Structure 1
Amino acid sequence: MDDIDAMFSNLLGEIDHLSQSLTQADGDPGEDAASRENSFSIGFTDLNESLNELEDHDLDALMADLGPKIPQQESSSHEGISSRDNAQASTPPTSPKFTPTNFLTSPTAQPSSQVKKEEPQTKAEKIKLALQKLKEAKVRKLIIKVLMSDKSSKTLMVDERQTVREVLDTVFEKTHCDCSFDWSLCETNPELQIERSFEDHECLVELLSAWTRHSENKIYFVLRPQKYVMFTEPQLFYMWKKPKASLSGINSQAKELLIKESFGGSTQIVPDLEGTLYLKEDGKKVWKPRYFVLRASGIYYVPKGKTKSSTDLACFVRFEKVNIYTTSNYRQMYRAPTNFCFILKHPCIQMESPYIKFLCCDDEHTLSLWVTSIRIAKYGTVLYKNYQAAVKRASTLQGFQSPAHKDRSNGHTSLGNPHPGSSYVEGYPHKPPPDFLPPPPQAKHL
């Protein structure tokens, strides 16, 4: 009986400990307003700085959104709120610095005369406005700073409904650049020395929500010649086993047929890619060669002592929960055999972790093959739709551009012909511009 009582007491203790852990995970309700105020923007010191950087029309739009949404009953942002929906509509949740959160804070009460001016006249208008405000109250808004290659920056206000493609269009309007479909928004992580180009269909606010407390990550607006090279030069990935000299002579009709066969059917065709890559052992700076095979569901490899037959293949990683990132200076940072490395990780992992998969290639061409082919396997026909939309948008915007700008974005880019003006060789960050990916301590600048 004594043993049973002791076991029961231990069980109660474990349940109590688990309850406390879940309570802490939901956020500390006693966090002060000053720390909350620092959680509304990406790339700024505080909320006031980000608001001051907004252009007049963006600030007017923000104030119009915030004005009539929330009644005066919100007397304090420190009081607990039982309903999650009410919490989203009244006060931002506690979250780490530089992490995107709901931007809808309690507005200052407007004079009654001003409210009456904006009051709808008919019942139908009142219902329409009420539904709109209820919908808007759940939309997260974010002020972000996008860095340019010339070290300038642009401040944007985005919400969770906007895709990366829509944000790129906004940047085009602010920068008056050539509007090429090679332009990308990229995130950089100095902690891991990695970067990734966002895909056009992804929602930017959702992507930035993975950033952690005190994150040093940044967003860059840069040219990426490799962004859609699988459609401008599809033979490089679907016919990669053939000699390179024969691939350069393929005409446009053959390329279109290859794209149609790979992306126009009922099923997605993934490049039949396989070869030897170096795998970093967990917790060690030791890299071992392994034979890897690409499939639509993920990457498989041949374990030590096994043959290359399909029955001996073991699953290395699946693509559902991971993104692919290119790296910088891993030869010095992790003693990689070369600097042509890439990693596969969950987007929420922002620092070194045993759940990150490190792979290294012999040369730049092999790196290009694997990174682009993995993107094809992960996103499939969505990439082709992104490409078609980007080309259409670029041609529309170029109608208003000067001839010099048109010439820059009309040419296609191959693996060995970087886009003019790009700071990257073949679109990868092993030759970054200054301050793009700061090296780790005691590492030399490239």
Structure 2
Amino acid sequence: MLPCVKETDKMDDIDAMFSHLLGEIDHLSQSLGPAGDPAELDPASNSESTFSIGFTDLNECLNELEDNDLDALVADLGSRSALQEFTAHQQGSRAADNHSASPAGTQGSEAAAALPPPSHNESDRVVQTNEPQTKADKIKLALEKLKEAKVKKLIIKVLMSDGSSKTLMVDERQTVREVLEKLFEKTHCDCSIDWCLCETNPELDIERGFEDHERLVDPLSVWPRHSENKIYFVLKPQKYVMFTEPQLFYMWKKKKACLSGINEDAKRLLLKENFGGSALIVPDLEGILHLKEDGKKVWKPRYFMLRASGIYYVPKGKTKSTSDLACFVRFEKVNVYSTSNYKQKYKAPTNFCFMLKHPCIQKDSHYIKILCCDNEHILSLWVNSIRIAKYGNVLYKNYQAAVKRASTPQSLMYAAHKGASTHLEPGHSDSHASRISLPPNIPDVADYPYEAPPDFIPPPPPGHATV
């Protein structure tokens, strides 16, 4: 009887664990989206909303597209739908041949099926040759094609730092770097390595810069249907600070005076040691951070340590040895976000906080981890070191590609022209555009020596009488 009792206890434990798992899944699903929303349950309406980001409806976003982008969309959708029709016809022909044709005639029938079906309807030919001329006709055709084709395309509105916006059509295969190239062409700005695409979430008061290797459609597709999230095209000097100033991350324990004396050769050596080998070396960052308690506005200090796989902390009464460390979060399924005004919103000790969460979580949830730093320097150390640990050498390759793009003759020529101009053009998206470059060594008016006026009046020119 004793073995039976043990087996029964094991089954009860498994059932309890399974019930707990189901409860966690249900709680997570509730945090990802509103329950009971008919719009969320309607596949047709939801699929239509995924075609645009930042617009109220699909018609509006198509109207914002430039003519060449709209033509490319219609042509691409037309070729995809034609390919789908041809594939379906080919499969149907082969199925019919398998049932009716003899084995000897199978090769001939398959060869015939591989050709596109002949069109016997003259009206079809007329429709194919009559391409839409006006923009309204193109929009109407694009709407029809979008309903037919199962493609993952987004028409996005990207906001600039000066309040203007640009409309882009993004394909699911395009990376953030390719989208940045499009924006360089549309805005005629320089190709600095600091340009970044950022997503903002007003509900959580967070933002994150997309990495250049990411497929932009993937993170945008998880936004809720009526989301207030936005995309910005801005300059972020912190984007590649771990490569331009590597001593801040790999020599962070040294004094600031020592770090400021690092020359360019020493920086290159640091990059080679930590990113040039077969294995990536993550900064050995550690220190006290304040952790927000789940569901409370209470912050507790803990000693955290960064590792390649995630963030670990030292439990109370334990040491910093590897065997005593407890895992806080792993980086595989979470992204790091910077926050704003959390000192007022959550009573944080400072406003220098960062968040770790799954990209699908778009509202407040106990699956979100929030940590608070003492100052801005420590915040930069943790956020960018987490990016190094999460993306590894891919991040370094992104930096090298950005430097190569910024060093092209076209970009250098634009940078030189930009430096020589006054940058007073209206609507310029560069945050440094309002700066006026003055010639050097021009003395101020107060520096000129004072000269007394002459004590005589010069004679008038010949032929002019004195008044």
TM-score w.r.t. the length of structure 1 is 0.71
User: Contact conserved, 1:398 with 1:406, CA < 8 A, in 2?
Assistant: no
Alpha-carbon shift at residue 291 of structure 1 (Å): 0.1
* 1:113 to 2:126 alignment: yes
The residue aligned with 1:59 is 70
Gaps of 5+ in 1: 1-13, 15-20, 75-109, 119-135, 409-418, 424-446
User: Contact conserved, 1:224 with 1:422, CA < 8 A, in 2?
Assistant: no
The residue aligned with 1:129 is none
The residue aligned with 1:393 is 405
- Select which of 226, 240, 248 maps to 1:236: 248
- Select which of 358, 382, 386 maps to 1:370: 382
Q: Which amino acid aligns with 1:226?
A: Q
Structure 1 range deviating more: 141-150 or 59-68: 59-68
Q: Which amino acid aligns with 1:42?
A: I
Alpha-carbon shift at residue 241 of structure 1 (Å): 0.2
| 1:137 to 1:385, Cα distance in 2 relative to 1, 3 A | farther
Q: Distance in 1 between matches of 2:224 and 2:349?
A: 30
The residue aligned with 1:339 is 351
User: Contact conserved, 2:49 with 2:225, CA < 8 A, in 1?
Assistant: no
| 1:73 to 1:189, Cα distance in 2 relative to 1, 3 A | closer
Q: Deviations over 1:404-445 (max 9, x none)?
A: 43689xxxxxxxxxx97399xxxxxxxxxxxxxxxxxxxxxx
The residue aligned with 1:50 is 61
Q: Deviations over 1:341-385 (max 9, x none)?
A: 001000000000010011000000000110011100111100110
User: Contact conserved, 2:50 with 2:154, CA < 8 A, in 1?
Assistant: no
* 1:186 to 2:198 alignment: yes
Give the structure with the higher percent helix: 2
Query: Counterpart of 1:186 in 2: which secondary structure?
Result: strand
Q: Distance in 2 between matches of 1:370 and 1:304?
A: 22
The residue aligned with 2:273 is 261
Over the matched positions of the two proteins, sequence identity in percent amounts to 73
Q: Which amino acid aligns with 2:383?
A: V
Q: Deviations over 1:215-244 (max 9, x none)?
A: 110000011101011111100000000001
| 1:33 to 1:344, Cα distance in 2 relative to 1, 3 A | closer
Q: Distance in 2 between matches of 1:195 and 1:298?
A: 21
Q: Deviations over 1:99-140 (max 9, x none)?
A: xxxxxxxxxxx942353799xxxxxxxxxxxxxxxxx96641
User: Contact conserved, 1:141 with 1:159, CA < 8 A, in 2?
Assistant: yes
Q: Distance in 2 between matches of 1:234 and 1:407?
A: 31
The residue aligned with 2:107 is none
The residue aligned with 2:178 is 166
| 1:221 to 1:260, Cα distance in 2 relative to 1, 3 A | same
Query: Counterpart of 1:326 in 2: which secondary structure?
Result: strand
TM-score w.r.t. the length of structure 2 is 0.68
| 1:259 to 1:60, Cα distance in 2 relative to 1, 3 A | same
Q: Deviations over 1:300-342 (max 9, x none)?
A: 0011222222221100000000000000000010110000000
Matches within 5 A, 1:56-205: 56-70=67-81, 111-113=124-126, 115=128, 139-205=151-217
User: Contact conserved, 1:327 with 1:342, CA < 8 A, in 2?
Assistant: yes
Q: Deviations over 1:245-281 (max 9, x none)?
A: 1111111111101000100101000001000000011
User: Contact conserved, 2:204 with 2:363, CA < 8 A, in 1?
Assistant: yes
User: Contact conserved, 1:178 with 1:406, CA < 8 A, in 2?
Assistant: no
User: Contact conserved, 1:143 with 1:157, CA < 8 A, in 2?
Assistant: yes
Q: Distance in 2 between matches of 1:373 and 1:29?
A: 37
Q: Distance in 2 between matches of 1:210 and 1:407?
A: 44
| 1:372 to 1:73, Cα distance in 2 relative to 1, 3 A | closer
Q: Distance in 1 between matches of 2:43 and 2:301?
A: 52
Q: Distance in 1 between matches of 2:40 and 2:83?
A: 21
The residue aligned with 1:82 is none
User: Contact conserved, 1:42 with 1:144, CA < 8 A, in 2?
Assistant: yes
| 1:283 to 1:402, Cα distance in 2 relative to 1, 3 A | closer
| 1:260 to 1:185, Cα distance in 2 relative to 1, 3 A | same
Alpha-carbon shift at residue 39 of structure 1 (Å): 3.8
The residue aligned with 2:418 is 405
Query: Counterpart of 1:67 in 2: which secondary structure?
Result: helix
Gaps of 5+ in 2: 1-18, 20-25, 30-34, 86-122, 132-147, 422-429, 435-467
Alpha-carbon shift at residue 286 of structure 1 (Å): 0.2
User: Contact conserved, 2:46 with 2:225, CA < 8 A, in 1?
Assistant: no
RMSD, aligned α-carbons: 3.3
Q: Distance in 2 between matches of 1:187 and 1:59?
A: 25
Q: Distance in 2 between matches of 1:39 and 1:287?
A: 38
Q: Deviations over 1:132-175 (max 9, x none)?
A: xxxx9664111000000101000000100000000001001000
Query: Counterpart of 2:304 in 1: which secondary structure?
Result: strand
Q: Which amino acid aligns with 1:60?
A: D
Matches within 5 A, 1:183-332: 183-332=195-344
The residue aligned with 1:131 is none
Alpha-carbon shift at residue 64 of structure 1 (Å): 1.0
Alpha-carbon shift at residue 72 of structure 1 (Å): 13
Query: Counterpart of 1:201 in 2: which secondary structure?
Result: coil
Alpha-carbon shift at residue 395 of structure 1 (Å): 1.5
Aligned length: 343
User: Contact conserved, 1:323 with 1:347, CA < 8 A, in 2?
Assistant: yes
| 1:229 to 1:183, Cα distance in 2 relative to 1, 3 A | same
User: Contact conserved, 1:162 with 1:204, CA < 8 A, in 2?
Assistant: yes
Q: Which amino acid aligns with 1:44?
A: F
Q: Which amino acid aligns with 1:300?
A: Y
Alpha-carbon shift at residue 179 of structure 1 (Å): 1.4
Q: Distance in 2 between matches of 1:391 and 1:407?
A: 22
| 1:249 to 1:207, Cα distance in 2 relative to 1, 3 A | same
User: Contact conserved, 1:235 with 1:255, CA < 8 A, in 2?
Assistant: yes
Alpha-carbon shift at residue 67 of structure 1 (Å): 2.6
Bigger radius of gyration: 2
User: Contact conserved, 2:190 with 2:411, CA < 8 A, in 1?
Assistant: yes
User: Contact conserved, 2:287 with 2:304, CA < 8 A, in 1?
Assistant: yes
